[in-house]
Amino acid sequence: MEYNHPICRISLIIPHKNIPLMERKITISQIRDAAYQAYSESKEVSGGANANYIPYLANVNPELFGLSVTLANGTTFNFGDTEYKFGIESVSKVPTAILAMIQHTPEGVLRQIGADATGLPFNSIFAILLEKDHPSTPLVNAGAISACSMIAPQGDSSEKWKAITDNITDLCGSAPQLLDELYESETATNFNNRAISWLLKNYNRIYDEVDMSLDLYTRQCSLGITSSQLSIMGATIANGGMNPVTGKQVHSREISSKITTMIASVGFYQHTGDWLFTSGIPAKTGVGGGVMGVMPGLFGIAAFAPPLDDAGNSVKAQTAIKKFMQKLDLGIFNGDQVTIVPE
């Protein structure tokens, strides 16, 4: 049989006729309707609280809520506050991990940082002490600071910053904007991250100047981004590294697969297993209230709402993305061969 995947065409030899795989077609309007319903049904969900350890985030309007879906053909659906620029925070770890893999290969990142889940909170020092041979993964604070230190050109803060933001612009198809007030707020309060940086230096896992690497990390977390932009970033990853809106090949298919693996294994920190089990989609969260999901070959999805659960993950964004996946009966591990068709 021939399987038409949006990225590649594979001929499969099916050895037994009762293999329980389902070939399914989902229409673009079914996707739009599912997104609208997921958004509407999640609007009144309460619970959680804004991050309060970064003063700027504590003061963001907790009622803001947006949901965006971008298909692998570039079609984007936006519902709610999808143009509000919120702090990207830890979702920024994804593009910088991609950039580190572009510059140093996935094997280089595996060797210098790692690709293992910590099972511990995002800012854990204990995780570094447990695995001092590597900072585990570029998707927790320790590995993300280490990733910033790897970005070329070495020793040049402004060129490194340009490389980091240019890459985010390529992935989203439009530029993020530094939120100066958030940057000042984070810089004034990032004592735990300073401890992480120097501990990593002690284990030879910072590959450039320590304070510069931490500053780049703090700055990238302080970028303002919209859920619409994040859904395009998710779609670029889902689409084998080609931005479906601009048509630019930002990174290789191999890097898409590697970053999606990292997102699947640690995107929700100590709640990653529960998240993947219940939602069926690899996703990365940030304490600014954003969540970005990647459904390989199909779409990127992003939701934003500031109140967080105890692990730092947006309560409403989680609900909306789960509802969306359930309405379409989708799941990365369910074995279905899904094609999105016009009607």
Structure tokens at 243: 């931005």
If the CB atoms of residues 116 and 186 are measured against ligand GLU, the closer one turns out to be 186
Taking Cα atoms as reference points, which of 246, 314, 322, 235 lies closest to residue 280? 322
Q: Which residue is nearest to ligand GLU (CB)?
A: 90
| Residue 89 sits in the site that holds ligand GLU (CB under 6 A) | yes
| Residue 50 sits in the site that holds ligand GLU (CB under 6 A) | no
| Residue 90 sits in the site that holds ligand GLU (CB under 6 A) | yes
One of 116, 170, 186, 208 touching ligand GLU (CB under 6 A): 186
Least separation, in Å, of the C-beta of 287 and ligand GLU?
A: 4
Contact 7, 240 (CB under 8 A): yes
Least separation, in Å, of the C-beta of 210 and ligand GLU?
A: 15
| Residue 286 sits in the site that holds ligand GLU (CB under 6 A) | yes
Least separation, in Å, of the C-beta of 143 and ligand GLU?
A: 12
| Residue 122 sits in the site that holds ligand GLU (CB under 6 A) | yes
Least separation, in Å, of the C-beta of 293 and ligand GLU?
A: 16
If the CB atoms of residues 286 and 297 are measured against ligand GLU, the closer one turns out to be 286
If the CB atoms of residues 31 and 179 are measured against ligand GLU, the closer one turns out to be 179
Least separation, in Å, of the C-beta of 222 and ligand GLU?
A: 8
| Residue 319 sits in the site that holds ligand GLU (CB under 6 A) | no
Q: How many residues does the chain have?
A: 343
| Residue 123 sits in the site that holds ligand GLU (CB under 6 A) | yes
Structure tokens at 128: 């570094």
| Residue 324 sits in the site that holds ligand GLU (CB under 6 A) | no
Taking Cα atoms as reference points, which of 194, 200, 199, 195 lies closest to residue 214? 194
If the CB atoms of residues 196 and 250 are measured against ligand GLU, the closer one turns out to be 196
| Residue 281 sits in the site that holds ligand GLU (CB under 6 A) | no
Least separation, in Å, of the C-beta of 286 and ligand GLU?
A: 4
| Residue 215 sits in the site that holds ligand GLU (CB under 6 A) | no
If the CB atoms of residues 71 and 221 are measured against ligand GLU, the closer one turns out to be 221
Count residues near ligand GLU (CB under 6 A).
11
One of 100, 283, 287, 302 touching ligand GLU (CB under 6 A): 287
Cβ partners under 8 Å of residue 322, min gap 6: 278, 279
Chain residues in the site for ligand GLU (CB under 6 A): 89-90, 122-123, 141, 186, 193, 221, 286-287, 312
